[in-house]
Amino acid sequence: MKPAVFDYHSPSELKEALHLLNEFGYDAKIMSGGQSLIPMMNMRLARPKVVIDINQIKELNYIRINNSVIQIGGLTRHYQIEESKEIEQVCRLITEGMKLIGHSQIRSRGTIGGSVVHADPTAELPVMLSTLGATITLASAEGQRTVTTEEFFMTYLTTTIEMNEILVSVEIPIPPANTGYAIDEFTLRKGDFAIVLAAASVTLDVEGKVKAARLALGGVDGVPVLLDEVTDGLIGKIPDQNLIAECCMGIGDMVDPEPDIHASAEYRRDLCITYAKRVLELAAKRALKQQP
Amino acid sequence: MQRNLKKIAMTVNGKAYTASVEPRMLLSDVIRDELGLTGTHVGCEHGICGACTVILDGRPVRSCLVFGVQADQSDVITVEGLADSNGELHPLQEAFWEKHGLQCGFCTPGVLMSACHFLQQNPNPSREEIREGISGNLCRCTGYQNIVDAVELAAETLNKNKSSDTESAKEQGVHSGRAVNV
């Protein structure tokens, strides 16, 4: 299996890459880590005429943290995010979630921008970013725009990124103290695509009642599914096991997963409930530990 | 057909190489067909099996998921870089021999490179961590038990060598002649 012939460009500046995108339009494909694109090219499911390799654009590889936001450059590799002590200190969900992405070899090359734009509904990053209320910044030769995850993800492998745009950064708001997180997934083998993936964050007030909570599922629809209906039921209450179980009971009716060779729709619905409960319970437990 | 060749230069196992390659040529094919280093095996060619794992600028990567042109100006270590210049096996290779960590041997170069980087990061792993460390490599013969045994033994040997190396290095200031220092 060898890729078809393509013209190769390897710009070292964002400006140059955006210019090339304008020039080649739909004939061009941006290559970041290449861990999804190159397999598709090897199998000739993708045959771009022009590959614009952005791996030399060092200005897109960074992690910046201030008091309220973690900003991660689009070309930052999975292992850099996974190993960042600064991120672990302010947002452990990301650190834990990164470890679930593929294998060490994939995380050496794969980038946050590539994973987000690829928009695989079973991928960890889109689900994590939805849970955390992150924003995504896209650049074109004309300028930049910032969108929410809800605005960005459209359906399977499809986003609202325009033909002339490159994802330049992801911004994750640093959650308040008293916040606990959890992420977990069901896979057939370690590192495989998730059958169902769940992430949650729970923020408690001083009395130990839920002030804010988010729950997102992956692998059940074309985009990450945010279940505010479930987490709204936790607000203002002590998040014990019974309450969480009660709130999660209806999830089976809220999701509409497709069956495939790996799991029936019914089984996926069951997994959604099990994993939603699991991550919410763990997030609540961890939030409690954060209490002063 | 017009062949649009690009010149690349890289260091492989401490030795400088240049090659002229088409942009579509995978790093795995550059290593095998252009540089003649056939120790790196090509299994699935779409990033599942891990047989083609090499160390690229200090990180394990699947060489079938990197284009050769992307490795221009890079430092690569392949399985040929494990044994020292006298042909003496690396402790990891010794351990695979000792513990019968391979049968057909097809996946072994990839497993060795993954394990090599893994032990650099985690010199005292548990068996569970070893399994995690080699989870990106498929082996269809062994059932993995002996691979885990071998990596465990290699960790022990490397740790022993490290403490005696530090002592002898203090005395004589010697370094091993290997391309890789685990």
How many angstroms away from the CA of B58 is the closest CA of chain A?
A: 9
Res. A188: pLDDT tops 80 = yes
A66 contact partners, CB below 8 Å, separation of at least 6: none
User: Considering chain A, what percentage of its residues have pLDDT values greater than 90?
Assistant: 96
Beta bridge partners of B15: B12
Q: Please, which pLDDT band fits residue A292 given cuts at 50, 70 and 90?
A: low
Kindly list the distances between the CA atom of residue B150 and the CA atoms of B92, B111, B131, B132, B138, in Å, as whole numbers in the listed order: 7, 11, 12, 15, 16
Q: Which residues of chain B have a CB within 8 Å of the CB of A10?
A: 69-70
CATH fold group of domain A179-287: Enolase-like; domain 1 (3.30.390)
For A7-53, CATH number?
Answer: 3.30.43.10
Does residue B24 belong to the interface with chain A, where contact is any CB pair within 8 Å? Answer: yes
Please name the residue of chain A whose CA is at the shortest distance from the CA of residue B54: A105
- A173: tokens are 């708001």
Interface test with A, best of B4, B5, B24, B116 (most A CBs within 10 A): B24
Q: Which CATH superfamily is domain B91-172 in?
A: [2Fe-2S]-binding domain (1.10.150.120)
- A to B CB pairs, distance under 8 Å: 85
Query: Residue A190 has what pLDDT?
Result: 82
> What is the reported pLDDT for B175?
45
Is A64 in contact with A71 (CB distance < 8 Å)? yes
Question: H-helix or E-strand containing A98?
Answer: helix A92-98
CATH number for region A58-173: 3.30.465.10
Element housing B127 (H / E): helix B127-133
Pairing relation of β-strands A158-159 and A69-73? unpaired
CATH superfamily ID and name for B6-81: Beta-grasp domain (3.10.20.30)
Mean pLDDT by 10 residues, chain B (182 residues): 85 97 98 98 96 98 98 98 93 97 97 98 97 96 96 97 72 53 56
* pLDDT of the residue at B174: 43
> Any idea where the domains of chain B sit in the sequence?
6-81, 91-172
Rounded to 5 degrees, what are φ and ψ at A60?
-95, 5
Q: Could you say which DSSP state residue A25 is in? A: G
Phi, psi of A167 (to 5 degrees): -75, 120
Residue B87, Ramachandran bin (φ over 0: left; ψ between -120 and 50: alpha; else beta): left
Q: Which residue of A has its CA nearest to B2?
A: A5
The b-or-e profile of B146-168 (16+ CB within 10 A means b, else e) is bbbbbbebbbebbeeeeeeeeee
- Beta strands A135-140; A166-173: pairing state: antiparallel
* Tens-place pLDDT, residues A41-60: 999 999 999 999 999 999 99
